[in-house]
Structure 1
Amino acid sequence: MQGTILILDGVATTRIMLKVQLSAAWYRVVQTGRLTGILQLVRKVRPDLIITSLSLPDGDARRLPQLLRPDPLLAAIPILAIVGQNDRAARLRALEAGMDEALCEPVDDRLLQARIRGLIRSGFSAEEMDLATAPVPLNGYTPQGMADPARAYVPPPTRARVVLLNRREETAQRWRTALAEECHHHRIESQLIGDMQGLFGGQEGPDAVVVELTADSDDTGLGLLADLRARGATRDIAVIAVPEPATPRLAAEALDRGAHDVLANGFDAAELGLKLDAQLRRKERSDRMRATLRNELRAAVQDSMTGLYNRRYAMPRLAEIARAAAEQGTGFAVMLADLDHFKQINDQWGHPVGDAVLIEAARRLRAALAPGDLIARMGGEEFLIALPRCRPEEAADLARRLCAAIQSTPFRATGADAPITITVSIGVALGGSQEGPRHPVLPCYQDQDPALALSRLIRRADRALYTAKRSGRNQVMLAHPAAA
């Protein structure tokens, strides 16, 4: 079963014909002829798509988007309207009301099936994005203000960049002029298909692309649709295809090639304006949710104060470094660095000054490391540093440079009336396969349990740090390989 479709139509014969048509494509079909009770039915059935006629015995189906929108569980369900033959005005009214598509009777079966597939895909994408960004309830309670209802109205960008891709300059000029009158709030540009450097080459990609398709055998528009969705620079932009002349076959193929929407009846500036705004709202919402998801993932592994990784990220990453060393027969180093007498800074100057010192200390430590090295704040004023493919003499030399980076220049912070001199103590433990007579180190993964071996290595670094503290601070101590 491909999904569930709810048919909303007051004419029984129309419902039956649609049911036969959709059932043959392995959709589960539910029918109703009235708006009354529609919310209860939709909540019960949870359809993947609603197909409706505009005129119903008990009201106007254009109310349907407004009825569903307040409920986050229902708002992501796409709605496809069927309007009368060649009824352009009704089609535009349906789109203005918030319906996702409006097709004129008689509906070509191939186009209908392609549009259904595309709309269901968009509905699934919205639901998956909502699940990915929804706050996790705590004991059944979701903090108010955190939930982001699905398909909540998001205005399109006030100054979106829309690029028209045409085969001929005269067509491009005609489309650009007509669309600019409908979408004066957007920046309308045009390019000829075949000259894509301006589309793919610039740093700022377009927000939406409108692609002209023709029935010519040498037309490259269909191939371009797949290319747009495959490239990283254009994967997330809104893509609308316009078959010229309008043919159901070309429109259906465009949808299956990756277009988010089509103008099945050919170029119409008013319809294109409405569909552009709808797709730009979708893009704006998707972009916002992706950004939220990225920020939440970053927050889960990043220390909010210093911007370094936290323990949650550091421990699995350290295990990867150790595993790679064991597989490649190389060595690695683990360091624990702790700022000396840090409590005195908080006691003398206050926690805001202490926080500023921590942030600057983290910056200095990070700047002294190579891009592939790991540094994480483990808590308080303690940092974990891991150096992949590192020999003992390299680890000792880098640890001394880290000490110098902290001590060499006094720290200045708002709230402290004098520069603050601070030092750091570092304990170093070596793992993996180390060469050299003065530093024989057993492979970290010789233990049966790799996690236990890594835990012992960190404990060795911690003991070396403790020894450095007891020995006067502001120094590096290398753990003895036999320590356990």
Structure 2
Amino acid sequence: MSVQGTILVLDGTSTNRIMLKVQLTAAWYHVVQGERLHGLAGLLRRTKPDLVLTSQHLPDGTAAEVKKLVMADPDLIDVPVVAIAPQNDKAARLKALSDGLDDVLAHPFKDTFLLARVRSLLRARAETQELQVGTTSHPIGFAESSTAFIAQPKTARVAILTQSPRTGALWQAALSKQTRLALSVHTSLNLRGILSGPVPDAILFEVSANPPNHNLLADLKSRSTTRHTVLIGILEAENAELASEVLDRGADAVCLAGFNTEEVLLRLDNQIARKTRLDQMRASLRRGLVESWVDPLTGLHNRRYAMRAMDQIARQSARSGEGFALMLADLDHFKTINDTFGHIGGDSVLTEAASRMEKTVGSAGFVARIGGEEFLIGLSDTTQAKALTLARSLCNCIRDTPFELPDAPAPIPLTISIGLITTRTAKPLKPHQPAPLERLIKSADTALYDAKSAGRNQVRARQSAA
């Protein structure tokens, strides 16, 4: 039997625990049981649940206290905690949401709705885990723990999407007293307003069985602009089957039994807080990925990128039989600039030189800074003649225009030396037989040394039989 995840069920009544275990086990979840708050911290550490379902009141505590214990463990901070409240107990439902529970389910509930909500919550957790680094709770780029406070936007954009303008106007009027919400109203038949305007943080949408609007969710989830927007469905009646379908189609939460202002606001607060955290994690991840490939001073690619890129170029050449080129370039007598004008002056020269080389190479290849004043240039699908022409253009772009420095009485002349290695166009190699990259770099380095020894400000070329 395939186990899809571990769910911890907490309830002081054994029959309730047994019933939930039967429902969840039948859906191939591994179920762990507990009955009280005492000893829960140890149970959490041992079982590492993916989801916690807890009665709102335990013999020695509450669902809110369960949530605090889960949040106290950095490894479990993204584990959803769902309270189970009595049927038709509106106050209990609102209390659970106000206490920060991820959701509240009214007991008894149908298997279909329970399992749909479980799937939805586990998907949400999986999304968070994908943004984590390794097995830690620190997203890339965050020095602080992910438990650190993340402020929500001062004004959240919320789009209201209803079948009729009248319903939308009523919902807008009910929520308009909340100044932290920027509201807009649209009808389900016309999404242009949502898709063409500012991207909303959340969309409240009316769930209708007749005519069904289920395709709306698939549409919103498929678009890059609204893929991460919070989607909260409002059902007019207690329709578990319809609610289950809405959750499985991508809704983040549903409100049963009609529009309730207080519940909607609580769910908006909870879901937008989660979205804010994930948005910041995504931004941090993107920054981390960029920083791992980019030289922070010049904005060029760095050594790590260059090695990967050259490996790919070599492998592509092995498949196609087309030649490629690798250059190592070094600014001549750069130490003198640093000694005379300091590292600020040296950095200015490096940045300008990088810009010139990148512009000269253009779409023909890439330029990477791999050392202090050393650069690597990679060209795919080229010949030695073409590569030599480009290498000489690189020498010219550095030599022909002296460098302006604020503290220099006159522009500073500078030259560059280049070692070039090219591969001959030959019979395509097998995909697992690319030209050995280390050997090519060593050959280019030898050619660079030859250019330096010959007086600098020139290109020396070699050819490989790769």
Superposition TM-score, scaled by structure 1 size: 0.88
Match of 1:158 in 2: 154
Residue 90 (structure 1) aligned with residue 92 (structure 2): yes
Match of 1:402 in 2: 394
Match of 1:149 in 2: 146
Does the aligned pair in 2 maintain the 1:242–1:251 contact within 8 Å? no
CA distance 1:398–1:188, change in 2 (3 Å): same
Match of 1:257 in 2: 249
Match of 2:124 in 1: 122
CA distance 1:180–1:432, change in 2 (3 Å): farther
Residue 279 (structure 1) aligned with residue 271 (structure 2): yes
Equivalent residue letter for 2:93: R
Match of 2:190 in 1: 195
Equivalent-residue separation in structure 2 for 1:128 and 1:416 (angstroms): 51
Residue 299 (structure 1) aligned with residue 282 (structure 2): no
Does the aligned pair in 1 maintain the 2:83–2:104 contact within 8 Å? yes
Alpha-carbon deviations, 1:194-247, whole Å to 9, x = none? 322333345x4222222221011x32x211112222222222221222223441
Does the aligned pair in 2 maintain the 1:432–1:444 contact within 8 Å? no
Equivalent-residue separation in structure 2 for 1:122 and 1:252 (angstroms): 16
Identity of aligned residues (%): 45
CA distance 1:132–1:418, change in 2 (3 Å): farther
How far off its partner does 1:310 sit?
1.7
Task: Decide which of 177, 195, 204 is 1:210's aligned counterpart.
Answer: 204
Match of 1:450 in 2: 434
CA distance 1:417–1:107, change in 2 (3 Å): farther
Equivalent residue letter for 1:479: R
Match of 2:223 in 1: 231
Match of 1:474 in 2: 457
Equivalent-residue separation in structure 2 for 1:3 and 1:94 (angstroms): 24
Task: Decide which of 154, 163, 166 is 1:167's aligned counterpart.
Answer: 163
Alpha-carbon deviations, 1:384-423, whole Å to 9, x = none? 1112222333222222222222123222234445432211
Equivalent-residue separation in structure 1 for 2:331 and 2:451 (angstroms): 12
How far off its partner does 1:323 sit?
2.3
How far off its partner does 1:301 sit?
2.2
Equivalent-residue separation in structure 1 for 2:364 and 2:282 (angstroms): 26
Residue 179 (structure 1) aligned with residue 175 (structure 2): yes
- Specify every segment of 5 or more residues in structure 2 that has no aligned partner in the other structure, as ranges: none
Residue 465 (structure 1) aligned with residue 465 (structure 2): no
Does the aligned pair in 2 maintain the 1:133–1:289 contact within 8 Å? no
Match of 1:386 in 2: 378
How far off its partner does 1:68 sit?
2.4
Structure 2 counterpart SS, 1:189: strand
Equivalent-residue separation in structure 2 for 1:109 and 1:446 (angstroms): 55
How far off its partner does 1:132 sit?
4.7
Does the aligned pair in 1 maintain the 2:315–2:431 contact within 8 Å? no
Equivalent residue letter for 1:212: E
How far off its partner does 1:75 sit?
2.1
Does the aligned pair in 2 maintain the 1:161–1:187 contact within 8 Å? yes
Equivalent-residue separation in structure 2 for 1:460 and 1:447 (angstroms): 23
Alignment RMSD, CA only?
2.6
Does the aligned pair in 1 maintain the 2:64–2:96 contact within 8 Å? yes
Equivalent-residue separation in structure 2 for 1:3 and 1:44 (angstroms): 15
CA distance 1:464–1:291, change in 2 (3 Å): same
Equivalent-residue separation in structure 2 for 1:250 and 1:333 (angstroms): 61
Equivalent residue letter for 1:211: F
How far off its partner does 1:354 sit?
0.9
Equivalent residue letter for 1:320: Q
Equivalent-residue separation in structure 2 for 1:69 and 1:7 (angstroms): 17
Superposition TM-score, scaled by structure 2 size: 0.91
Equivalent-residue separation in structure 1 for 2:322 and 2:112 (angstroms): 60
Task: Decide which of 316, 336, 339 is 2:308's aligned counterpart.
Answer: 316
CA distance 1:326–1:381, change in 2 (3 Å): same
How far off its partner does 1:445 sit?
5.7
Equivalent residue letter for 2:183: I
Residue 45 (structure 1) aligned with residue 47 (structure 2): yes
Equivalent residue letter for 1:394: K
Equivalent residue letter for 2:399: Q
How far off its partner does 1:78 sit?
1.0
How far off its partner does 1:376 sit?
0.9
Task: Decide which of 394, 397, 414 is 1:422's aligned counterpart.
Answer: 414
Aligned residues: 462
